[in-house]
Amino acid sequence: MSADAGPRGFLRRFVFCSDHKAIGVQYLVLAMAMSVVGVGLSFWFRAQLAWPGAQIMTPEQYVMAVTMHGTIMIFFVVSAALWSGLGSLVVPLQVGARGMAFPVLGPVGFWTNVAGAAVMVASFFVEGGASAGGWTAYPPLSALRNSGAGALWGTTLWILGMALFIVSFTMGALNVVATVLNGRTRGLTLMRLPLATWTWLVSAVLGLFSFPALTAAAILLLLDRHAGTSFFLPSGLLVSGRPMPNAGGAPLLFQHLFWFLGHPEVYVLVLPAVGIAFDVLAAFGRRPVHGYRTTVWALLAIALLGMLVWGHHMFVSGMNPFLGTAFSVTTLLITAPFALLGVNLLASLWRSRIRFSTPMMFALALISAVGAGGVGGLFLATSAANLHLHDTYFVVGHFHLMIGVVTLMGTFAGVYYWFPKMFGRTMNETLGRIHFWPTVSGAFAVFVLHHFQGLGGLTRRYYEHTQDVFQGPASLHPAVTLLAYVAGAAQLVFLVNFAWSAFAGPKAGGNPWEATTLEWTTASPPGRGNWEGELPEVVGEPYGYAEGPDGTGFRMQNAEGGR
Amino acid sequence: MRRGERGAAGGLVLALFLAAIAVAVVALWFWRGWLPPQASEQARGVDRVISYIAAAAGLILVGGHFVLARFVLASRREGGPAYRPAGRRAELLLSVIPVAVMVAVTEVGTMVLGAPVWKDVHTRQPGDLEVEITGMQYEWLARYPGGDGQWGRRDIEEFDGAINPLALDPRDRAGKDDIVSRGVIVLPAGRGVWFSIRSWDVLHGFNVPAFRLKQDAVPGMVTHLRLVPSAPTPPGAPLEVACAELCSSGHYRMKAKVIVLSPEDYAKWLETAPRFGD
């Protein structure tokens, strides 16, 4: 492929475009569109929680809204924007490739993802409503078509939408693995990769290992629902007073299969956010990251241990208590490599000369969110503490900090940082600040308060908290809702900034941030084929900052340019 | 020069903000007693674990945020000390220390403080009172074996939502004196209770926040939980069960009351409660 003008015609250029940069932008736009649905649902049910007397929704609508909010935000917002969007955009550029290893998988994967999103949205309009069994879709609730809200057709479409998502993710992950392993330019050894690309590689491998378990679970669930099988349905079921004919199935089997993916999925999303933060911290702190090697080893350790901890979601599920202890131990072991990541993030700021641009602000907030999220994890991973905290707002606050706040801080840092590589322009800094402050302070306030509500035992997925014992923690609901509205509304500033800057932002040169990795050695936006003429040849480490006699220079990874 | 550099003042605000997060978390912890009242001996153990982690993790959180804020603050100074790479020794220490600290802190929490509680709630002791709990959309039922100590057989065909919600087989003599209590669980204070938990339909979570314990009710299997209620509940102020596993739209209203009686009152209740065979 050469750096020509590329194909012509609307369809080839915008719809079935195989250029990884365009696909990255398409994923970001998809994520923004789906975030309107996902965040809108949360605005709706947060109103119900804050003002239960107003009867803003029915209990059926409530369980549908929380189920679909979780599903859409995890798979069609965070994963689409952070993993697929920024990953498609950045990985080929950081490895010095003309494109992804399998260019056709790009548009096919993207449109499969769109189909999955469309099926999810369509499920609101089928008989019985959208799936309402929680984003975890535990059977028997999800396997019985007569079990209540959303059980008739919504859950079937939910399974279909998830299947399409998994197909799409698998294509993207294969592409990332092949591109990083086989598509690196001359001189770019694995230990010279920028950490962002390392995290995409590790998370792609992790996803490829873990998603098949969910695929299997989804197929078995579908069969239980429509083919009369009993994979997850035991004998002796009595639903709405009617004995069911099923026999021999095990509801816990689904939980094992689900979390065999579900837990690694957390790292699939969190690791790229951390990787982006490392790149941004170096570029705006004007010094190399601390502990590149130990970071890479920590990432690999997290990926390996991450596949051995799924049972910590099932401490009170009825799983053998001995297994609970085993999973508690492995889960707490994973805090060790995470602590290492945290220390390396922090130490990367030692003697830095920070340029406080918006990407850096988000990267710094990410460090805080990783710390706060990690601390909550210590409670939940301890099986004895989990006896009290399981299925409370403590869990809700914890996972929102990790797969909501950490991931979105990473996504925002990445979008503001790499925006020039999408549109050849930079985003507006003032709007960036206006976006940053309410987003970060609102998100922290909401999810930290969730933790304290959870200490009070406040159960999650409740339409209304009427128990006396919950009145104290539930009295915070209105305040939390208002804070969530502030943080959510601030995203409009981001959407406006994104759209406006794409067309009218200040033009960026090839390297507006004076960053050193390969994506900054080409034009903004890079043309088709990414580099005119020869591909860059890497001669050294990714983070050539603090160079020169006075320590303020920088060296590009291909040694051309720099100061 | 660069647009971002005018933001040095923003750095000061950000440093203060980061420190404030840590301070706010600590302040919230002490603001009020968040944990529900302790109504079981096991609650003390669970609370001890939670408090230990809060102290250890809180120190890490506060320390980390202060370091972060300090680095952000220090980096605003023009002409401050220039960057130099950390030496091998520093890098080694910065790797080994956090790993060792985290492993020590967390494994002490789970193995030293947590494991005894975990074992206690999962091990039946001689002399424990066995109570069967059944969850169904959207209510809780308790069953006691009666004077003979024998559980009556179930026969699903005998199910009757109004009069026989546990589908006890009327032909089984052992079931004649079983006591079935709908929405109210009566327990003696100071005696170990071994719950055998079942579900008719979907997953439910048997959860009494004041006991600090929960256990899923899973159809097709029997799960267990042991606890010792610490004291009789005052009249009119029973403990509350709140379902802790999503069971469709009525999940939020799947409640029950737990009344803890003195051993004497419990014995009296047991004698006068209606039997299944009556």
Of B21, B201, B210, the CB nearest to A469: B210
- Over residues A329-344, the mean pLDDT reads 92
* Cα–Cα dist A52/A39, whole Å: 19
- Over residues B79-102, the mean pLDDT reads 86
Contacts of B74 in chain A (CB under 8 A): 351
Under an 8 A CB cutoff, do B98 and A144 touch? no
Please say whether the beta carbons of A119 and A125 come within 8 A.
no
* Bridge partners (DSSP) listed for residue B140: B135
Under an 8 A CB cutoff, do A132 and B249 touch? yes
Question: What confidence tier does B1 reach under pLDDT thresholds 50, 70, 90?
Answer: very low
Contacts of A356 in chain B (CB under 8 A): 4-5, 7-8, 10-11, 14
Q: Using H for helix, E for strand and C for coil, what is the string for A339-408?
A: HHHHHHHHHCCCCCCCCCCHHHHHHHHHHHHHHHHHHHHHHHHCHHHHHHHCCEHHHHHHHHHHHHHHHH
Q: CA of B252: which chain A residue's CA is closest?
A: A462
User: Which residue type occupies A19?
Assistant: D
User: Which residue type occupies B161?
Assistant: G
> Residue B7: what pLDDT?
54
* Cα–Cα dist B257/B185, whole Å: 6
Under an 8 A CB cutoff, do B4 and A284 touch? yes
Instruction: At A12, list the tokens.
Output: 């080839």
Of A294, A448, A545, the CB nearest to B25: A448
The secondary structure element, H or E, covering residue A439 is helix A429-455
Contacts of A138 in chain B (CB under 8 A): 203, 245-246
Asked if the model's pLDDT at residue A360 lies above 70, the reply is yes
Under an 8 A CB cutoff, do B46 and A351 touch? no
* Cα–Cα dist A215/A204, whole Å: 16
Give the mutation candidate from A57, A444, A459 for the B interface (greatest B CB count, under 10 A).
Answer: A459
Under an 8 A CB cutoff, do B2 and A291 touch? no
Of A361, A375, A463, the CB nearest to B57: A375
Average pLDDT, chain B: 92
Nearest chain B Cα distance for residue A101, angstroms: 36
> Residue B11: what pLDDT?
82
Under an 8 A CB cutoff, do B99 and A388 touch? no
Under an 8 A CB cutoff, do B46 and A388 touch? yes
Q: CA of A362: which chain B residue's CA is closest?
A: B14
* Cα–Cα dist A170/A468, whole Å: 47
Give the mutation candidate from B246, B254, B257, B258 for the A interface (greatest A CB count, under 10 A).
Answer: B246
Q: What is the predicted ipTM?
A: 0.95
Nearest chain A Cα distance for residue B267, angstroms: 28
Q: Which residue has the tokens 């020069």?
A: B1
Please say whether the beta carbons of A276 and A318 come within 8 A.
no
Asked if the model's pLDDT at residue B125 lies above 80, the reply is yes
* Bridge partners (DSSP) listed for residue A238: A243
- What sign does the dihedral A260-A262-A263-A265 (CA atoms) show? positive
- Over residues A32-56, the mean pLDDT reads 97
Of A243, A324, A464, the CB nearest to B156: A243
Q: Which residue has the tokens 């050294």?
A: A540
Length of chain B: 278
SS3 B206: strand
Contacts of B81 in chain A (CB under 8 A): 351
pLDDT tens-digit profile of A383-398?
999 999 999 999 999 9
Q: CA of A391: which chain B residue's CA is closest?
A: B244
> Residue A148: what pLDDT?
85
Please say whether the beta carbons of A433 and B10 come within 8 A.
yes
Under an 8 A CB cutoff, do A324 and B118 touch? yes
Question: What confidence tier does A7 reach under pLDDT thresholds 50, 70, 90?
Answer: low
pLDDT tens-digit profile of A407-462?
999 999 999 999 999 999 999 999 999 999 999 999 999 999 999 999 999 999 99
**Whose CA is closest to A472, among B3, B31, B198?**
B31
> Residue A2: what pLDDT?
38
Under an 8 A CB cutoff, do B113 and A383 touch? no
Contacts of B49 in chain A (CB under 8 A): 382, 384-385
pLDDT tens-digit profile of B40-85?
999 999 999 999 999 999 999 999 999 999 999 988 666 667 888 8
pLDDT tens-digit profile of A210-255?
999 999 999 999 999 999 999 999 999 999 889 999 999 999 999 9
**Domain spans, chain A:** 23-234+246-521
Asked if the model's pLDDT at residue B268 lies above 90, the reply is yes
Q: Strands A238-239, A242-243: parallel, antiparallel or unpaired by DSSP?
A: antiparallel
pLDDT tens-digit profile of A27-41?
999 999 999 999 999
Query: Between A and B, how many residue pairs show a Cβ–Cβ distance under 8 A?
Result: 344
Of A290, A384, A470, the CB nearest to B118: A384
Architecture of domain A23-234+246-521: Up-down Bundle (1.20)
> Residue B6: what pLDDT?
47
Range list of H helices, chain B:
8-31, 41-74, 88-107, 115-122, 263-272
Contacts of A339 in chain B (CB under 8 A): 98-99, 101-102
Of A461, A468, A551, the CB nearest to B246: A461
Question: What confidence tier does A531 reach under pLDDT thresholds 50, 70, 90?
Answer: very high
Contacts of A433 in chain B (CB under 8 A): 7, 10
Please say whether the beta carbons of B228 and B123 come within 8 A.
no
Under an 8 A CB cutoff, do A339 and B99 touch? yes
**What are phi and psi for residue A186, nearest 5 degrees?**
-55, 140
* Cα–Cα dist A282/A66, whole Å: 38
DSSP state of B144: E
Give the mutation candidate from B1, B16, B21, B93 for the A interface (greatest A CB count, under 10 A).
Answer: B21
Q: CA of A461: which chain B residue's CA is closest?
A: B246
**Whose CA is closest to A345, among B144, B83, B26, B64?**
B64
- Over residues B181-191, the mean pLDDT reads 97
Nearest chain A Cα distance for residue B271, angstroms: 30
Contacts of B95 in chain A (CB under 8 A): 291, 294, 340, 343
Among A136-140, A371-375, A549-553, name the one with the lowest average pLDDT: A549-553
Q: CA of A243: which chain B residue's CA is closest?
A: B156
Under an 8 A CB cutoff, do A62 and B255 touch? no
> Residue B114: what pLDDT?
93
pLDDT tens-digit profile of B161-180?
999 999 999 999 999 999 99
Please say whether the beta carbons of B132 and B142 come within 8 A.
yes
Under an 8 A CB cutoff, do B156 and A546 touch? no
Contacts of B248 in chain A (CB under 8 A): 63, 132-133, 141, 147-149, 151
Average pLDDT, chain A: 95
| B72 CB burial (10 A radius; 0-12, 13-18, 19+) | buried
Contacts of B82 in chain A (CB under 8 A): 351, 546, 550-551
CA A58 to chain centre: 30
> Residue A8: what pLDDT?
64
Under an 8 A CB cutoff, do B202 and A466 touch? no
